[in-house]
């Protein structure tokens, strides 16, 4: 190989260390470009692969448009998951250690649906997140917020026959990163989801209502339409809040699929 590999942790800091106001200007300018393409009728994905305010994307996004193809054969199915794959207790992130984790206990629940509103049953949802202090347990996260010995921050669930899932966890804190000077991510939970066909695979992030960091964050803003960004904000639901126990949020997830996925699901167990 001609190119030596860099140590992964050295890649985390963007070389130019722009100011926050420069990043916000770049976000606005790129949104204006994408809005103009929308207005011109161009077929754009919800998330821009080319979003330079997110500095580490500069050399990692394709420059050519993806080829539009009809999904075929294996792509019309999804790996099969069930209770054999995930234990029920894996959906409670507060029970993984001897003691109680610190922070605001919360639940997040919702439905996994396809583009026609049909529930996606028996599919895998994986989540991971920072602790209440905004620190990830990953060894490459070295910022000086405390680790919590009673919190790992990873969970799994399999959707039930109605496409429903539920996690109990601790509300994550905002997280500082090195995209630019004084960069902070809005609090978020990473979600990884399988649909009924492999083309519906989705990895995304759930945010919390009213976060003051939204306008400053190039990752959240790699989605240029407000309506699409709003879909990633969990909804506080007092009916899901348990007295003297945990606040409750709702986060429904819709997996996209080509028209061909409409039929495949019917015969799929």
Pairing of strands 105-114, 253-255: parallel
Nearer residue to other proteins within complex by CB, 205 or 241: 205
CA 196 to chain centre: 19
Query: Which residue has tokens 């080319």?
Result: 50
Element spanning 88, H or E: none
Query: Where in the sequence numbering do the catalytic residues fall?
Result: 136, 175, 185, 188, 190
Pairing of strands 235-236, 247-250: antiparallel
Least separation in angstroms between CB 243 and other proteins = 30
Two tokens at 103?
Answer: 């922070």
Nearer residue to other proteins within complex by CB, 54 or 165: 54
Least separation in angstroms between CB 53 and other proteins = 11
Least separation in angstroms between CB 122 and other proteins = 8
Element spanning 168, H or E: strand 164-170
Pairing of strands 154-158, 247-250: unpaired
Nearer residue to other proteins within complex by CB, 54 or 208: 54
Beta-bridge mates of residue 156: 126
**Residues contacting residue 161 through CB under 8 Å, at least 6 positions apart:** 119, 121, 122
Please, what sign has the CA dihedral across residues 227, 234, 148, 139?
Answer: negative
Cα separation of 191 and 194, whole Å?
A: 10
Nearer residue to other proteins within complex by CB, 244 or 266: 266
Nearer residue to other proteins within complex by CB, 63 or 238: 63
Please, what sign has the CA dihedral across residues 174, 175, 180, 181?
Answer: positive
Least separation in angstroms between CB 205 and other proteins = 4
Nearer residue to other proteins within complex by CB, 66 or 243: 66
Least separation in angstroms between CB 59 and other proteins = 4
Cα separation of 223 and 236, whole Å?
A: 22
Judge whether 167 and 93 are in contact, CB under 8 Å: yes
């Amino acid at each position: 190989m001609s190119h030596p590999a860099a140590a992964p942790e050295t890649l985390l800091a963007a070389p130019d260390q722009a100011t926050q106001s420069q990043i916000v200007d770049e976000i606005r300018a790129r949104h204006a470009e994408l809005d103009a393409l929308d207005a011109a009728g161009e077929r754009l994905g919800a998330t821009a692969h080319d979003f330079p305010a997110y500095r580490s994307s500069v050399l990692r996004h394709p420059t050519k448009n993806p080829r539009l193809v009809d999904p075929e054969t294996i792509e019309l199915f999804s790996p099969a998951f069930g209770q054999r794959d995930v234990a029920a207790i894996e959906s409670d992130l507060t029970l993984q250690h001897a003691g109680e984790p610190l922070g605001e206990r919360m639940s997040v629940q919702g439905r996994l649906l396809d583009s026609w509103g049909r529930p996606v049953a028996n599919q895998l949802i994986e989540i991971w997140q920072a602790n209440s202090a905004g620190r990830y347990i990953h060894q490459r996260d070295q910022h000086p917020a405390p680790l919590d010995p009673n919190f790992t921050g990873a969970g799994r669930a399999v959707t039930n026959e109605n496409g429903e899932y539920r996690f109990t966890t601790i509300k994550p804190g905002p997280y500082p990163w090195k995209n630019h000077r004084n960069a902070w991510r809005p609090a978020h939970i990473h979600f990884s989801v399988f649909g009924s066909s492999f083309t519906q695979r989705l990895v995304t992030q759930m945010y919390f209502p009213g976060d003051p960091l939204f306008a400053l964050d190039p990752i959240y803003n790699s989605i240029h339409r407000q309506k699409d960004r709003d879909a990633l904000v969990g909804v506080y639901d007092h009916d899901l809040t348990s007295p003297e126990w945990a606040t409750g949020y709702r986060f429904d997830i819709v997996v996209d699929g080509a028209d061909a996925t409409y039929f495949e699901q019917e015969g799929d167990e």
